Amino acid sequence: MKDDVWPMVHAERAALIADLARLDAEQWRTPSLCAGWTVHDVAAHLVDTARTTRLGFVAGLVRARFDFDRLNSQGVERRRGASPQETLERLRRAAPRRSGPPAPLDTRLVEEVVHGEDIRRPLGLARRYPPEAVVRSLRLQARTPASFGGAKELTARVRLTATDTELSIGRGPEVTGPALSLLLAVSRRRPPLDELHGPGAPALAAALYAPR
């Protein structure tokens, strides 16, 4: 069902807004897990993605010369306020929206969960995500090609098995760990090595640390 995604997306946005509201100025400047972006930059990116429409996405991609990294950077510049408080208010106003790019709807969940961890982990914050949100995000990433930010090619070489829910995806040597850690790994984030185990873990680590 498509409509059941939006309540989960809105719940994640609300939880992150609550966490961001408690940060001081120094914490907003903390480097996130998203390379080259601070916590403030990631928040601005989430404003941009929440406000994205199908038509706007296509037009923006053309302006960015079909470079996704440039598209994202331009979005951060456009949505980043002069202060953290301004960006947070923009995120509050955008949070109820139900728009997105021409992509599977579950990409909205991937955005909220992965970028939520991009912000929370460097700050030492923790959230207990609804298992369904993490599982749906992981399933989508596992069938999405790397060229679109996923891990389809990786799951053709290793099998990902969650230790906290009934989920096993892929073929090859097994990698085990919490579903959230597996999601971060296939999204090219680097969870602590002690969160992932199994004979496929070295191949997964090599993929994570390989130059892009």
Please give the chain's pLDDT, 212 residues, in tens: 456 899 999 999 999 999 999 999 999 999 999 989 999 999 999 999 999 987 877 787 778 677 777 877 888 889 999 999 999 999 999 999 999 888 899 999 999 999 999 999 999 999 999 999 999 999 999 999 988 888 899 898 999 999 999 999 999 999 999 999 999 999 988 777 689 999 999 888 887 766 65
Domains in the chain: how many in total?
2
> Is 173 in the same domain as 112?
no
> Is 81 in the same domain as 29?
yes
179 near 167, Cβ under 8 Å?
Answer: yes
Closest C-alpha to 2, from 97, 102, 99, 104: 104
> Is 160 in the same domain as 182?
yes
Of 92, 123, 154, the last residue of a domain is 123
Of 77, 97, 123, the last residue of a domain is 123
CA torsion through residues 96, 142, 42, 77, sign: negative
Predicted local confidence at residue 37, as pLDDT = 96
> Is 105 in the same domain as 137?
no
> Is 203 in the same domain as 141?
yes
> Is 94 in the same domain as 165?
no
State the CB neighbour count (10 A cutoff) for residue 201.
19
For 68-78, letters b (16+ CB in 10 Å) and e give eeebbbebbee
Closest C-alpha to 15, from 94, 127, 118: 127
Predicted local confidence at residue 57, as pLDDT = 76
Predicted local confidence at residue 75, as pLDDT = 84
Residue 177 domain boundaries? 131-209
91 near 50, Cβ under 8 Å?
Answer: yes
Q: Strand 174-177 relative to strand 159-162: parallel, antiparallel, unpaired?
A: parallel
> Is 186 in the same domain as 107?
no
> Is 193 in the same domain as 140?
yes
The pTM score is 0.92
For 89-100, letters b (16+ CB in 10 Å) and e give ebbeebbebeeb
> Is 34 in the same domain as 75?
yes
> Is 14 in the same domain as 97?
yes
Predicted local confidence at residue 210, as pLDDT = 67
Predicted local confidence at residue 212, as pLDDT = 56
Question: Cα dist. 22→90, 120, 121 in Å?
Answer: 16, 12, 15
